[in-house]
Amino acid sequence: MRPVGEVQSVLMIGFGAIGRHVARLLRPEISTGRLTLTALVRDLGKHTEHHGLGAELVQVDSPEDSRWSGLTADVVVECAGGPAAKSFGPAAVAAGIPFVLTSVGALADQSTRRALLAGPGDLHVTNGAIGGLDVLEAAAQAQALNEVSITTAKAPRGLVQPWMNAEEIRRLNQLTPAAGPLTIFTGTPAEAIVKFPANVNITVALAWATRGLGFGAVADDELMEAALHRTGVEIRADPRQEDSHHEITATGPAGEFAFSISSTPSPENPATSGLTALSVARTLRTCMAGLRRD
């Protein structure tokens, strides 16, 4: 991999629900020739119906694949999940290419976090399925937040995990609207992302935004470690829930803040908020504006 500089080219890792939604959102740039989009997929055969979205699809498994080193891009964006973020992210950053992280939970893993912060490529953490983070980041940088917490409520079927036993899965699947929401986890983002890797990237994004003011990668790393253990997380399975619902609260000398986000699910993945792709497209556009040399 090497950076190109002037050409607005985006390399996307993964072309699932979020990746395809982002491609549709970038249509204004793609259709006017201002942007080229290449998406890395693991199996081209599974994407025969996805060629009309303006992306060139390339089969590459990992950064160890020889085809990876032949690729060029101005920005790499990950839309593929934690394992892909942990392998492709450090490779892009080490090659000096800005990297947009969607599977923000990867930042909970210390060695990945250090690699992503090591540069020379810049790390861009998308807000994903939540918002209000500019306010909380501002307050946290002034050391004016004491408590930060997030409660996430989703339809039960999207919360089933491979480690759950048969009884836990049955309980989730048989929840009725009359029973109301069931709290299935309370703890920290550090614990939550291990148990629910594709459901609570937002809790790690909240920790990242409220880590406080660090000067340099070492400080950012240490502040993030503390934030991952300080932020409160509650996950609820709510059978009345069609949308994904997130409640963020924060208090401190800066004031009291509350954000309530109900996002229409992704049309292709009911467990993912549709807002995620919108946020990723915005983060990408911010990166590209920074790269433009006109």
Ligand X SMILES: NC(=O)C1=CN([C@@H]2O[C@H](COP(=O)(O)OP(=O)(O)OC[C@H]3O[C@@H](n4cnc5c(N)ncnc54)[C@H](O)[C@@H]3O)[C@@H](O)[C@H]2O)C=CC1
- Residues catalogued as catalytic: 246
Q: How far is the CB of 276 from ligand OAA (least distance, A)?
A: 5
Q: What are the helix and strand counts (H, E) for the chain?
A: 11, 13
Asked if 12 and 40 count as a contact pair (C-beta separation under 8 A), the reply is: yes
Question: Closest CB to ligand X among 148 and 202?
Answer: 202
Backbone angles phi, psi at 246, to 5 degrees: -130, 130
- Measure the CA–CA gap between 264 and 244, rounded to whole angstroms: 7
Is 129 within any annotated ligand binding site?
yes
Q: Residue 132: name its binding partner from ligand X, ligand OAA, none (Cβ under 5 to 8 Å by kind).
A: none
The contact pattern for ligand OAA, residues 179-218, with x = CB under 6 A and - = no contact, is: -------------------xxxxx----------------
Look at residue 241 and give the partner it binds from ligand OAA, ligand X, none, a contact being a CB closer than 5 to 8 Å depending on partner kind.
Answer: none
* Nearby residues of 263 by Cβ (< 8 Å), 6 or more positions away: 129, 243, 244, 245, 246, 273, 274, 275, 276
Centroid of chain to Cα 44: 24
- Give the footprint of ligand X on this chain (CB under 6 A): 13-19, 40-42, 79-82, 84, 102-104, 126, 128-129, 198, 201-202, 205, 266, 269, 272-273, 276
Radius of gyration of the chain (CA): 19
From ligand OAA, ligand X, none, which one binds at residue 80 (CB under 5 to 8 Å depending on kind)? ligand X
Q: Which residues does residue 77 pair with via DSSP β-bridges, in sequence order?
A: 12, 100
Cβ–Cβ under 8 Å, residues 265 and 243: yes
Taking CB under 6 A as the rule, does residue 283 contact ligand OAA?
no
Chain positions contacting ligand OAA, by CB under 6 A: 128-129, 198-202, 244, 272-273, 276
Which parts are annotated binding residues?
A: 129, 201
